[in-house]
Amino acid sequence: MTLNIAGNFLDDTITEAILEKFPDVQLTHRIVRRIKEKYGYVSDVSEPVRVTLTEKGIPCEYDITEILRDSCLKLTDPICKTIQELVGTFDPDFQEKFRNNIIIAGGGSRLKGIDRAIEKSLQSYGGGNAVTVQDAEYCGSIGALKMCMEMPEEYWEKIV
């Protein structure tokens, strides 16, 4: 399954939300990316996220806690829904193993609380266990390799 949203989608979402609330702040793609990578979260609670942004060249502090969470959820909600759909496509004998071996890689794995959000989304499916990788930039291939190593041999015949 493929999602057509990722980091750039989230950057645009955060930018739009900040400008909607604070229309005169000056933002660049680089500023928004730094904010996202440093403070992005999806958990129910967070310490306040206050950032210094400029307005006509004058620096001011802005509280973007809720803006950031709401924006990040627009990325994590589709991820959770896709995982739920994927669980339903697996052979029932392997669904529990799948749900309890979710490895979150890539830039989205940096969002604080994404592992717990995914686990929470799987409660009605019997629960699950999700972990984030330590090296978010380069670990996607390791997760794919682990999945392939666990895959039953009959599934490999369908790929060839």
What CATH number does residue 147 fall under? 3.30.420.40
Give every residue of the chain whose pLDDT is below 50, as ranges. none
Do 84 and 108 fall into the same domain?
yes
Please say whether the beta carbons of 67 and 14 come within 8 A. yes
pLDDT for residue 51: 95
Q: Which range marks the domain in which residue 132 is found?
A: 76-159
Do 96 and 151 fall into the same domain?
yes
Do 81 and 65 fall into the same domain?
no
**31, 54, 70: which is the final residue of a domain?**
70
Per-residue model confidence as pLDDT tens digits over 88-122: 888 888 888 989 988 887 777 788 888 999 999 89
Burial 99-117 (b: 16+ CB within 10 A, else e): bebbbbbbbbbbbbbbbeb
Instruction: Output DSSP code: residue 134.
Output: S
pLDDT for residue 32: 94
> pTM higher than 0.85 for the full model?
no
Do 93 and 62 fall into the same domain?
no
pLDDT for residue 18: 96
Do 22 and 84 fall into the same domain?
no
Other residues' Cβ atoms within 10 Å of the Cβ of residue 75:
23
**Domain membership flag for residue 115:** yes
Do 61 and 83 fall into the same domain?
no
Do 64 and 132 fall into the same domain?
no
Do 63 and 49 fall into the same domain?
yes
pLDDT for residue 132: 85
pLDDT for residue 160: 52
pLDDT for residue 136: 63
- What are residue 121's phi and psi, to 5 degrees? -70, -15
pLDDT for residue 8: 84
**Domain membership flag for residue 2:** no
Beta partners for 59? Answer: 54
pLDDT for residue 34: 93
Count of structural domains, the chain: 2
